[in-house]
Amino acid sequence: MLEEVNTALERQDYQTAAKLLKPLIKKSPDDPWVHLYVAKLQEVSGKRQEAEKIYRQLLKVTINNKILSQARQGLQRLEDAEKAERKQAIAEATAEPTNAEQGILVLEPTNINSEQRTLAAKEFAKIMQIDPYSARLVLPSRAWRVYRIGKIGEMQFYGKQLQQAGISCFWLKLSHIQNIQVYQVKYFSQSSKNPHVVCTSNNNQMGSLSFSWSEVTAKVMGLLPIFEEVVDLNVRGKLERKTQTQDYAHFCDLHLPERRSILRIYDSGYDFQQGLEISPNATQNTMRINWNNLISWINENTTNTQVWSEFQPFGEGVLDQTETLNKIPANIQIYRKEKSNWDSAFHLYSGIIFTRNDESK
């Protein structure tokens, strides 16, 4: 009977094969050959998950080399079919010119227990075609993680699959971040419901801008490391040059989505001796005191505005993604001897917040 089943499968007479298998399943429920042929029928019927489960179970319980070989071949066919379908689906998802633009896929932090994390990692690994151990390390627990860059249609394709599996994520076009106008605030010159700032544009043109505090939809806070070369003794007692973090620059972004603009303020770039006397005795205070007074004043005028301050873990997670950060204009005017990915990382973080808030309206 088993040979007849095999013959029917080989000539693709699946109806006959199913008919012949039916009594065998009842008569010999533990026969690995029966299970193998059931898996093959499930495979050709499009029930791939059921077929995969049987093939994998056979690899665990049988020692018959022929069955083991065919089970492995079955798993390979399932994998090849899935890859082919995925490739076709991505091609269709990126066919439209607007879906071919560069975009990023961002994973959101999840507050789940160890068991739930293991299950989520398995789903993530299956969707993204990586091993479960690596998937567990990738899933963030503290802050957003930029996971992949590519065509926005492809990012959407993966993102929807992840969301269906219960994994929080989102995707957005890089152009939405690249096109944000950033103004570097030099100082506030007037204070009212419509404050006035003196600032420089992306191309370093000096100008001024009036806005309303009610326009500010987000405040993004962050610290950017300031590096300096120092001479120190190494383990052998010899002098060597090192690049070390000597200080941090304090940044505050005010988002004005109606103008597609960000007002960017940072401690050493703000002239506390010009414009409004926001920090009393500015000339005698330390930079930190002046900065704290400025932020307190801004907070008093934006009490209902959401504050975003998780830049540090976000920056650490994206710092080595040079391909992504190279596409992000830093719009940071800190003097540096060498380019730092921290600058682009901050603008990416602020830009993601800006774009997400704007798209959620």
Q: How far is CA 50 from the centre of its chain?
A: 32
The number of helices, as runs of H, and strands, as runs of E, in the chain is: 13, 10
pLDDT at 345: 97
Q: How many CA atoms lie within 13 A of 12 on its CB side?
A: 1
Q: Which pLDDT score is estimated for 63? A: 85
Residues of the chain with pLDDT under 70: 1, 230-231, 233-235, 237, 239, 241-243, 360-361
Decide if 184 contacts 261 (C-beta within 8 A): no
Domain of 136 in residue numbering reads as 97-176
Note whether residue 243 is domain-resident: no
Can you list the pairs that 17-20 forms with residues at least 24 positions away whose Cβ atoms lie under 8 Å? 17/41
pLDDT of residue 303: 94
Which burial class, exposed, middle or buried, applies to 138 when counting CB atoms under 10 A from its CB (0-12, 13-18, 19+)? middle
Residue 136 lies in a domain: yes
Domain co-membership, 153 together with 196: no
- What pLDDT sits at residue 246? 84
Q: Looking at the structure, do residues 295 and 202 belong to the same domain, yes or no? A: yes
Q: What is the pTM of this model?
A: 0.81
Q: Is residue 237 part of a domain?
A: no
Question: What integer pLDDT is reported at residue 235 of this predicted model?
Answer: 67
- Looking at the fold, whether 190 and 291 belong to one and the same domain comes out as yes
Predicted confidence (pLDDT) per residue in 248-305, tens digit: 999 999 999 999 999 999 999 999 999 888 888 888 889 999 999 999 999 999 999 9
Spatial CA neighbour of 127 closest among 107, 110, 101, 142: 107
Question: Which pLDDT belongs to residue 361?
Answer: 61
- Count other C-beta atoms under 10 Å from residue 98's C-beta: 9
